[in-house]
Structure formats: structure tokens, C-alpha cells
Amino acid sequence: MKINLKSAQLAFFLNIIYIVSRGISASVKIIPLIIPQGLQYFLLFLSELSFVAIIIFLIGSLRHWQAKSTALWLTIYLALSVISFFIPIAYHTGLLTLTASTSFIPAIPVFATFATIIIMMMTSFKITPSSLGAAFRAFFIVVILSALISHYLPTLMPVVQTPTMNKLSIAAVELVSLLPGFAIFFILQKVWLLLNEGVIVNKKV
């Protein structure tokens, strides 16, 4: 992908689509909205396609500034994200059957993704300009924190559950899942500024 101001503008637009589509999907679980199931699936796939396109742009940005090691691991992260997206669909459609021998399958990409993010965190310290590396580290941290909060927050709620507390728990988990999208804006802002300044780095990382 060619990295320039026009492609950066497209990435901004796609990130807005990603956040809005994820936000609408999340709102269905929080407030009593009646949305046709077909539209819900459309929003789900739209958010995933937007996310894939954005990550491809970020991979291109890393390659543009010669951060090829982080770009490689971000490519692996993208592949794992796509796999994680389709595993629940495979179970839901019957392509995979949930049995004792297959119950471990969803956990594989989760642990692999976590390990990949940790590696990207380490390689991001070598990214030049350093401001771009800091933006990517912020994104990686937000991804890890949002995943941990989404997983553990429901278990930290009071033992005595009420409809209100259940709704608050669901709302918090859904809102936290939107944070990586906002962190991506921070990276896109850095990329935009660097492109405007004409910063070019010849060092291979």
C-alpha cells in the first residue's frame, strides 16, 4: 500500500466507520434497540473489514518508515484477529462442533495474539521516529487492557447481581471494546504529521 496523505485520509474515514459500526452493535446490548439481525451481521462484518483495512494501512506505515520487524508481527496480529473473528462464526454455523476435543481452539489465537502484542511492544522501541513508536505502544497497551477488562470486569461485579448492575457491566465491557479504535486515531495523527513534515527514515528496524 502506498502511504501518503490521501491513504491516511482514507484510514481516518475507515476508523470512523469501524468505531461507529462497533458502537451501534454495542448499543444493541446496552439499550433496547430493535435492529434486524441482517443489519447486525452487516455491521459486524463492516467493522471487521474496516479494522482489517486500517491494520493493513498501519503495516504499510511501518514499512514506509523501515520498521519491518514490527510490521511483520503486526501482520501476524492481523491474521490472528481474523481467525478469532471467524471461530465463533464457525461454531455458530456448525462448521466446528464444540466438544471436549475442540473446546481449546478459541484459546489458541487469544494466547498467540497476547504473545504477539508483547513482541510488538518490544520491537516498537526501535521504531524511528520515536513518536511513531510511542503511538504504536499506546495502541498495544490499550488493546491488552481492553481485552483484560472485558474478560475480568464481569467477574469483579458484586456477587448479588441486579438488572441494573448487569446492564452496567455489559455497558462497561462494550464501551471498553471501542478503546482500540480511539487509540488508532492517535497513530493516524502521528502518521499524518510525519507525512506532512516529509520525515523519511532509512534505518531498517
Q: What is the mean pLDDT of residues 115-123?
A: 96
DSSP type of residue 124 = G
User: What is the secondary structure of 6-51 as a DSSP string?
Assistant: HHHHHHHHHHHHHHHHHHHHHHHHHS-----HHHHHHHHHHHHHHH
pLDDT beyond 70 at 164: no
Residues 6+ apart with CB under 8 A from 116: 73, 76, 77, 80
| Percentages (nearest 5) of helix, strand, coil residues in the chain | 80, 0, 20
Residue 114: half-sphere exposure toward Cβ, Cα within 13 Å = 9
φ/ψ (deg, to 5) at 133: -60, -40
Nearest of 87, 85, 145 to residue 117 by alpha carbon? 145
In whole angstroms, what is the distance from residue 52 CA to residue 172 CA? 25
pLDDT beyond 90 at 180: yes
- Amino acid 50 reads S
Q: What is the mean pLDDT of residues 25-51?
A: 84
Q: Where are the domains of the chain?
A: 5-197
What is the pTM (predicted TM-score) of this model?
A: 0.86
Q: How would residue 11 be classed by pLDDT, with cut points 50, 70 and 90?
A: very high
The top-scoring range by mean pLDDT among 108-112, 142-146, 168-172 is 142-146
Using one digit for the tens of pLDDT, what is the confidence trace for 65-118? Answer: 999 999 999 999 999 999 988 887 777 666 666 665 556 677 788 899 999 999
pLDDT beyond 50 at 188: yes
